[in-house]
């Protein structure tokens, strides 16, 4: 029997090649999208799961309160690690203090490379369950050792076993390789951690770290702390135990910020990293949800096509149903027949979809910045795919099966059979659903695009073109500011040079303790601090709205402050020029106010910031290239000059405009993915519409023939056939607009600096949908309208 079902299904498929192509092709596209989204979601939610102790690892974070607002910070004071080990030993399997990870120069002989890494306590290797290729988890116990990733080892030592080899970190620390770990998977937080050096080395080599150890400084938070709790104990109960550990050790003035420690579980690091007022507000997880919903919708659209085309074809199949019933088929047997037919279609679609996925996966990876591999041998994947296939064939096949099998044979065979109103209402509803979803997706894509544009076109407060930044990763440039500046300017490669403590695309430090006349005693200010050289303003081209720039002509400028406009507003100082701000036990005169410089997130308001002269703490060199020279010529000249002063440093630079553009990467990725999926949704909907229109034209061929004979023009007929579809799409617009508005309003609320949703966004989506509908339907309508009426009438 089954054999027979498949036989007739196959012949139907072959006999109606057009419909089958639309049906199976549409379904395959939908499934391919769902599979891709599924792989993507799997990759996202298995983030960090390569660590064996995934469930028990956490980072210690702190909520600090200032001016009634809780802020969440990642920085911990030095003594905290030892304190947890000493007093809460029964709660923790491992306690690992760590430096912030950053780019460092690693050298072997005359080979110098820049790699991201950090200093961690010895338990790090065991806690992260690193896969050691050479050496073991004891690799960090000796303070002059280093453990490196497989990739780092390959670059520095080739394929040989590097255990025991000597190398240098930051041209300063001599270490010996004690271990090599396998590269971590792409979807891990520590993926870019290319080396780990011992914490003790960090402490002994950097004075400021040593000071915070020797003076037991609870009020200086500059480190990270990772822990692994004892298996079986509970994150939140451990969190509440350690909540006040920092608070209890702080001197009275520090207690004001009321730090509350808590554990941030590894499973939330990637997807739930947003905090607002001490509460976790999710994060990337919203995109996982968003894409899950899009995936389901796309599959739904494809299923709708399937149902629509199948019921549309029902008149053709009606006769067959009538005959089968009159020669003894039960309803159940017919349902089985139609379900096996839909199953066959779905299996073809699945095969096609899998092939599609294999083909586009590389492009998809690039687009989504992933390294997803096709899971050929993953049992879950196979089960999931077959699950999707069965679910799809049931969803898509059930309505046609029930509908077709319930035809009454006598009506069908008498020839008086017409598919009822209910079927056509069902079909119309499905078309409306399809277009509603498509329009929502289009509106969403336009709004995301608009938000990105809006943020990109914000005033920067400086001139970012032709600006190059270099990070001073070692101390080679120490005390060479003036020599370097002279040499570079003389080379004509740059027109100005300066240094700063933060790159132009970030504000790395901020501080409190500012006092000024008129400040309310309850107000605890937190102001971004940027230490700069005298030539900073000229280099970046900032704009002073009040007062003047720093100048070497005034020796007192060494203690002067320049604030940005946001800071002046934040502090509430009127007529700021000449006013005194007290900070760090010193008076500082305000000599100027600059336009806000957009350094941090382009989606947030600019942070209040102060600029002051300091040549000690600067770690970034900023260069304004000479516009009269080509960029490549300038860069070559710069490299020559720099090599003269620091021969062991690789020449690594960033263009400020590129670094700024990177701030949009996440949003742009979302936009690209969303727009591709929206495109798929529209395409699948159109495919369905095309099939349906062609079917309607075929059904009405007799009517069209008669109308033509009595004098209808092609335009009349086109109007006749298109009208119904246009009505449906307009209805879809009316439903989609409020839903899309509400959804996008919600999304925009993630951003403090947000665009508005103008009426034209909806106009574009709606008119676009109408035009696409008309184009799709017109092809069929015109084809039917120009055909020879005699032919159509004769077939009756």
Cα separation, 533 vs 495, in Å, equals 15
**Per-residue CA distances from 329 to 315, 332, 361, 580 (Å):** 19, 8, 46, 96
Tell me the C-alpha distance between 144 and 157, whole Å: 19
Is 337 or 455 the residue whose CB approaches other proteins more closely? 337
7 or 69: CB nearest other proteins = 7
d(CA 167, CA 180): 14
- Tokens standing for residue 133: 């290729």
- Residue 344: count other Cβ atoms within 10 Å of its Cβ: 19
Looking at the chain, the number of H-run helices and the number of E-run strands are 27, 27
Q: State the minimum distance, in angstroms, from the CB of residue 11 to other proteins.
A: 4
Q: In this complex, which beta carbon is closest to other proteins, that of residue 333 or of residue 754?
A: 333
Rounded CA gap, 760 and 398, in Å? 40
Q: Give the relative orientation of helices 665-699 and 285-312 as an angle to the nearest 10 degrees.
A: 10
Closest CA to 108 of 182, 165, 173, 163: 165
| CA distance linking residue 626 with residue 331, whole number of Å | 83
Closest distance between other proteins and the C-beta of residue 427, in Å?
Answer: 24
**Nearer Cβ to other proteins (280/330):** 330
**Distance in Å, CB of 409 to other proteins, minimum:** 5
Q: How far is the CB of 727 from other proteins (least distance, A)?
A: 31
Output the CA torsion 715→720→722→725 (10° steps). Answer: 170
Burial of 715 (0-12, 13-18, 19+ CB in 10 A): exposed
Q: What are the φ/ψ torsions at residue 105 (nearest 5 degrees)?
A: -85, 125
Closer to other proteins by CB, 105 or 335: give it.
Answer: 335
Q: Which is nearer to other proteins, 336 or 601 (CB)?
A: 336
- Determine the Cα angle at 530 with ends 537 and 200, to 5°: 140
Of the pair 325, 534, the CB lying nearest other proteins is at 325
HEC profile of 614-629 = CCCCCCEEEEEECCCC
- State the Cα–Cα distance between residues 623 and 467, nearest whole angstrom: 6
Q: Under DSSP, is residue 166 helix (H, G, I), strand (E, B) or coil?
A: strand
Measured distance CA(95)–CA(84) in Å, rounded: 7
CB-wise, 323 or 580, nearer to other proteins? 323
Q: How far is the CB of 21 from other proteins (least distance, A)?
A: 18
Residue with smaller CB distance to other proteins, 12 or 99:
12
Nearer Cβ to other proteins (319/456): 319
The helix (H) or strand (E) run that includes residue 175 is strand 173-181
Query: CB of residue 287 vs other proteins: minimum separation in angstroms?
Result: 47
Give residues in contact with other proteins (CB under 8 A).
Answer: 1, 4, 7-8, 11-12, 15, 319-320, 322-330, 333, 409-410, 413-414
- Provide, rounded to whole angstroms, the least separation between the CB of residue 415 and other proteins: 8
Least Å distance, CB 14 to other proteins, is 9
Shortest gap between Cβ of 13 and other proteins (angstroms)? Answer: 10
DSSP, collapsed to helix, strand or coil, labels residue 647 as: coil
Q: Torsion angle, CA of 114/116/119/121, rounded to 10 degrees? A: -140
How far apart, in whole angstroms, are the C-alpha atoms of residue 383 and residue 399? 25
Contact assessment for residue 431 and residue 688, using Cβ atoms and an 8 Å cutoff:
yes
Smallest distance from the beta carbon of 328 to other proteins, in angstroms? 4
Minimum CB separation of residue 325 from other proteins in Å reads 8
Residue 115 phi/psi, 5° resolution? -135, 150
Q: Report the C-alpha gap between 516 and 520 in whole angstroms.
A: 9
Least distance in angstroms from the C-beta of 1 to other proteins: 6
- Smaller CB distance to other proteins: residue 12 or 212? 12
User: Quick one: 1 or 379, whose CB is closer to other proteins?
Assistant: 1
* Token pair in block for residue 742: 């509400």
Structure tokens belonging to residue 152: 């780092």
- Of the candidates 115, 102, 134, the residue with the CA atom closest to the CA atom of residue 202: 102
Least distance CB 688 / other proteins (angstroms): 24
Q: Residue 666 and residue 602: Cα distance in Å, rounded?
A: 12
From the CB of 316, what's the least distance to other proteins, in Å? 9
Q: Which residues, in sequence order, are bridge partners of residue 516?
A: 581
Smallest separation (angstroms) from other proteins to the CB of 728 = 32
Closer residue to other proteins (CB): 318 or 612 = 318
**Contact (Cβ atoms closer than 8 angstroms) between residue 721 and residue 696:** yes
How far, rounded to the nearest angstrom, does the alpha carbon of residue 105 sit from its chain's CA centroid?
A: 29
Of 63 and 324, which CB lies nearer to other proteins in the complex structure?
324
Of the two residues 83 and 341, which places its CB atom closer to other proteins in the complex? 341
Question: Under a CB-based contact definition with an 8 Å cutoff, are residues 577 and 546 in contact?
Answer: yes
Instruction: Count Cβ atoms below 10 Å from residue 330 Cβ, excluding itself.
Output: 11
For 135, which DSSP code?
Answer: S
Residue 400: CB minimum distance to other proteins, A: 16
Smallest distance, other proteins to C-beta of residue 386, A: 28
Q: What is the spatial distance between Cα 354 and Cα 448, in angstroms, rounded to a whole number? A: 30
On whether the CB atoms of residues 776 and 729 are closer than 8 A, the answer is: no
Give the nearer residue to other proteins in terms of CB position, either 575 or 795: 795
Q: Integer distance in angstroms from the first to the last C-alpha of the chain? A: 34
Q: Specify the residue, 109 or 328, whose C-beta has the smaller distance to other proteins.
A: 328
């Amino acid at each position: 029997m089954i054999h027979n079902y498949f036989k007739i299904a196959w012949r139907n498929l072959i006999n109606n090649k057009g419909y089958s192509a639309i049906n199976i092709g549409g379904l395959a596209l939908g499934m391919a999208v769902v599979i891709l989204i599924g792989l993507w979601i799997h990759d996202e939610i298995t983030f960090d799961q390569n660590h064996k102790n995934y469930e028990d690892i956490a980072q210690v974070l702190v909520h600090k309160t200032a001016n009634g607002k809780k802020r969440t910070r990642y920085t911990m004071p030095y003594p905290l690690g030892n304190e947890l080990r000493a007093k809460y030993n029964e709660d923790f399997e491992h306690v690992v203090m760590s430096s912030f990870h950053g780019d460092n120069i690693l050298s072997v002989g005359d080979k110098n490379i820049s790699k991201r890494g950090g200093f961690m306590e010895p338990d790090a290797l065991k806690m992260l369950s690193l896969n050691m290729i050479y050496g073991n988890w004891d690799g960090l116990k000796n303070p002059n050792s280093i453990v490196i990733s497989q990739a780092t080892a390959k670059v520095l030592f080739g394929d040989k076993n590097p255990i025991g080899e000597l190398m240098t970190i930051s041209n300063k620390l001599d270490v010996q390789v004690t271990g090599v770990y396998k590269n971590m998977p792409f979807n891990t937080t520590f993926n870019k951690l290319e080396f780990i050096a011992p914490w003790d080395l960090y402490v002994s080599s950097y004075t400021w770290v040593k000071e915070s150890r020797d003076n037991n400084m609870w009020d200086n938070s500059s480190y990270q702390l990772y822990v692994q709790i004892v298996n079986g104990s509970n994150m939140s109960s451990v969190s509440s135990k350690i909540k006040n550990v920092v608070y209890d050790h702080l001197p009275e003035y520090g207690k004001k910020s009321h730090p509350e420690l808590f554990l941030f579980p590894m499973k939330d690091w990637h997807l739930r990293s947003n905090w607002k007022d001490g509460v976790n507000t999710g994060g990337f997880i919203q995109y996982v949800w968003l894409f899950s919903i899009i995936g389901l919708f796309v599959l739904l659209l494809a299923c709708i096509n399937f149902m629509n085309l199948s019921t549309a074809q029902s008149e053709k199949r009606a006769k067959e149903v009538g005959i089968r019933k009159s020669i003894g088929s039960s309803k159940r047997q017919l349902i089985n027949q139609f379900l096996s037919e839909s199953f066959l279609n779905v299996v073809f679609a699945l095969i096609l979809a899998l092939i599609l996925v294999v083909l586009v996966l590389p492009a998809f990876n690039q687009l989504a910045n992933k390294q997803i591999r096709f899971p050929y041998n993953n049992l879950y994947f196979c089960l999931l795919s077959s699950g999707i296939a069965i679910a799809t064939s049931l969803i898509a096949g059930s309505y046609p099966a029930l509908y077709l099998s319930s035809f009454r044979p006598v009506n069908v065979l008498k020839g008086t059979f017409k598919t009822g109103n209910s079927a056509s209402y069902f079909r119309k509803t499905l078309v409306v659903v399809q277009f509603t979803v498509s329009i929502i997706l289009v509106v969403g894509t336009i709004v995301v695009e608009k938000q990105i544009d809006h943020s990109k076109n914000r005033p920067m407060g400086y001139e970012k073109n032709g600006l190059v930044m270099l990070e001073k990763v070692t101390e080679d440039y120490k005390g060479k500011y003036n020599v370097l500046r002279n040499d570079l300017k003389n080379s004509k490669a740059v027109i100005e040079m300066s240094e700063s403590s933060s790159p132009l695309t970030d504000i790395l430090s901020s501080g409190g303790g500012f006092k000024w006349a008129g400040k309310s005693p309850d107000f605890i200010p937190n102001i971004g601090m940027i230490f700069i050289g005298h030539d900073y303003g000229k280099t970046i081209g900032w704009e002073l709205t009040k007062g003047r720039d720093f100048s070497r002509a005034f020796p007192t400028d060494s203690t002067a402050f320049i604030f940005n406009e946001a800071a002046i507003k934040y502090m509430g100082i009127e007529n700021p020029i000449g006013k005194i701000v007290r900070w760090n036990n010193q008076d500082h005169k305000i000599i100027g106010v600059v336009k806000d410089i957009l350094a941090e997130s382009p989606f947030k308001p600019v942070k209040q910031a102060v600029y002051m002269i300091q040549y000690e703490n600067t770690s970034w060199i900023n260069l304004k290239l000479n516009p009269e020279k080509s960029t490549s010529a300038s860069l070559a000249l710069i490299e020559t000059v720099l090599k003269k002063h620091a021969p062991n440093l690789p020449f690594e630079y960033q263009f400020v405009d590129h670094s700024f553009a990177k701030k949009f990467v996440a949003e742009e990725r979302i936009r690209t993915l969303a727009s591709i999926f929206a495109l798929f949704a529209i395409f699948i909907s159109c495919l369905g519409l095309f099939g349906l229109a062609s079917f309607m034209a075929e059904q009405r061929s007799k009517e069209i023939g008669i109308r033509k004979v009595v004098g209808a023009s092609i335009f009349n007929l086109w109007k006749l056939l298109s009208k119904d579809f246009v009505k449906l799409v307009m209805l879809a617009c009316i439903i989609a607009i409020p839903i899309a508005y509400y959804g996008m309003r919600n999304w925009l609320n993630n951003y403090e600096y947000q665009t508005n949703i103008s009426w034209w966004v909806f106009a574009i989506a709606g008119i676009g949908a109408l035009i696409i509908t008309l184009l799709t339907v017109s092809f069929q309508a015109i084809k039917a309208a120009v055909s020879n009426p005699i032919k159509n009438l004769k077939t009756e």
